[in-house]
Amino acid sequence: MKTPDIAIIGAGPVGMALALALHGGPHTVTLIDARGRGASRKDPRVLALAHGTRLTLERLGVWDHLPTTPIRHIHISQQGGFGRTQLNESDYALDGLGHVVRAGDLAAALDDAITAANIPVIDHSDADVDPELHGRVQLRRADATDTLDCQLVVCAEGGMRADDPAIRVRDYGQHAVICMATPAEAHGNTAYERFTPNGPVALLPCGTDFAVVHTAAPEQAEAWLALDDTAYLAELQQAFGQRVKLIGVSPRERFPLQLRVRHTPVAKRQVWLGNAAQTLHPVAGQGLNLALRDVWALARRLNAATDPGDAQVLSTYLRDRRLDRASTVGFTDTLVRLFSNDLPPLRGLRGLGLLALDLAPPLRHFVAKRMMFGARAWP
C-alpha cells in the first residue's frame, strides 16, 4: 500500500472537504473512512450553513449539487419576556443569510466529488484504523497490519474521550430532539430561534417544512419522545406561541448535548478538525461552519508548504485560527448558559439585549456578519 503524504481519518463532511481542498495541490492524500464508505449519507440531521460556508463549498465545486433552502430572515426571541430582533438578507445584499441542507445530502455531494476526483478512500470495513502521533497510522486487518508513516495525519472525527486531560468538557444537561414540522402557512424562508427556560428551540426552513431542534433536560426530551405526534405538536407550539402555526410533525430523534473542546488541536505531525477538535451546542448553528473555516485555513497552509507536517506550518495554522475558534466556542457557550434558565433578572437583561440588537443596526450587522464569516466578521 502506497503511503500518502497526508492521511485524513474520517470521511464525514469535514474530512471530505479537506481532501477536496487539498486535491490538485503538491501533496498526496488518502481518506480513511472509519465508519464505512458512505455512512454519512444516512445522517438524519439538518444543518444551517452560513454564507461563508457556502463560499467554501462553491470553491470545492459541490454547492451547485446541493438541494438547499435559503434563510432570508432570522427571527430571534425569548419565551415569557420582551425583546426580539430580526435579521434580513436585504440588509447585506446576499442571496440568503445562510442555507439549510440535510446532512446526508451534503455528505452525498462531497462523496460524489471525492469519487470524481479519484481521491483514494480506505474503507473501515476492510481495515481497523488506529492513528498515532508523529504521522503514523496503523491499518489492522485480520491477517496483517499495514503501517503508514505519513508527513501529516489529520483526525476529522472521533477522538474526544471525556477522561482525556487534553479535552475540556461541559455537560449542558440537555438533549436535542430533532424532527420536521409542517407549517400551516408558507414559512417565507424565515428561521426562528426561540430561547425558553428548557433551552433554545430552532425552526429552520427546509423545503416546504421546518427542521426542528428542540432542546431540554434529558428527562423532558425522553418524555417528548414518548408522546404521540398530536401531544408533542402541542408542546412545540407552546414554545413558539402564535408566532408560527404548526400542523404536523415527523417521528423524532434525540442527541445529548455537550461542549467538548481540545485545548490544542495540533500536535507533532497531527491536526484535529471538526468534532475531533470541538463539539458545540447547536444554538446558532456554528459547529460545522467553524469546522469548514478551519478546513479552508489549514488547506491554504498545507498547499503552500513543502512539508505539510512541519512544526512551523502547523504552528502558523494554529495562530491563524486561535481567535475565531476561541470566540465561536465562547459565543455559543455563553448563549446557552445565559438563555437556558428562567431567572427574572437575566430574563430582563436578555430582553434588553435583544431590543438593543433591534434598535442598533451597526451592532446587529456585526453580529450577523460574525455568524456568516466568523470572528473577523468579513469573508
- Residue 82 vs residue 114, higher pLDDT: 114
How many H-runs (helices) and E-runs (strands) does the chain carry? 9, 21
On the question of pLDDT at 223 being above 60, the answer is yes
d(CA 116, CA 326): 36
Instruction: Please give the share of the chain, as a percent, with pLDDT higher than 90.
Output: 56
Backbone angles phi, psi at 73, to 5 degrees: -145, 145
| pLDDT number for residue 363 | 53
Calculate Rg over the CA atoms of the chain: 21
- Which residues are 196's β-sheet partners? 199
d(CA 171, CA 150): 35
Residue type, 350: R
**Per-residue pLDDT tens over the stretch 24-59:** 999 999 999 877 777 888 888 899 999 889 999 999
| pLDDT number for residue 78 | 79
151: pLDDT confidence band, cut at 50, 70 and 90?
very high
What predicted TM-score, i.e. pTM, was given to this entire model? 0.89
- Residue 337 vs residue 187, higher pLDDT: 187
Spatial contact of 270 and 134, defined as CB atoms under 8 Å apart: yes
Helix or strand (DSSP H, E) at 183: strand 167-183
| pLDDT number for residue 4 | 94
Cell readout for 280 is 458545540
Instruction: Please give the share of the chain, as a percent, with pLDDT higher than 70.
Output: 83
What mean pLDDT, rounded, does the chain reach? 85
**Domain boundary assignment for the chain:** 6-68+99-167+259-338
| pLDDT number for residue 92 | 81
Spatial contact of 216 and 235, defined as CB atoms under 8 Å apart: no
Cell readout for 294 is 478551519
| pLDDT number for residue 377 | 45
| pLDDT number for residue 339 | 65
Q: Residue 327, class by beta-carbon neighbours within 10 Å (0-12 exposed, 13-18 middle, 19+ buried)?
A: middle
Span 159-176, mean pLDDT? 82
134: pLDDT confidence band, cut at 50, 70 and 90?
confident
Instruction: Count Cβ atoms below 10 Å from residue 227 Cβ, excluding itself.
Output: 14
- Highest CATH level, class, for 6-68+99-167+259-338: alpha beta
Spatial contact of 168 and 284, defined as CB atoms under 8 Å apart: no
**Per-residue pLDDT tens over the stretch 3-19:** 999 999 999 999 999 99
**Alpha-helical regions (H) of 101-196:** 103-116
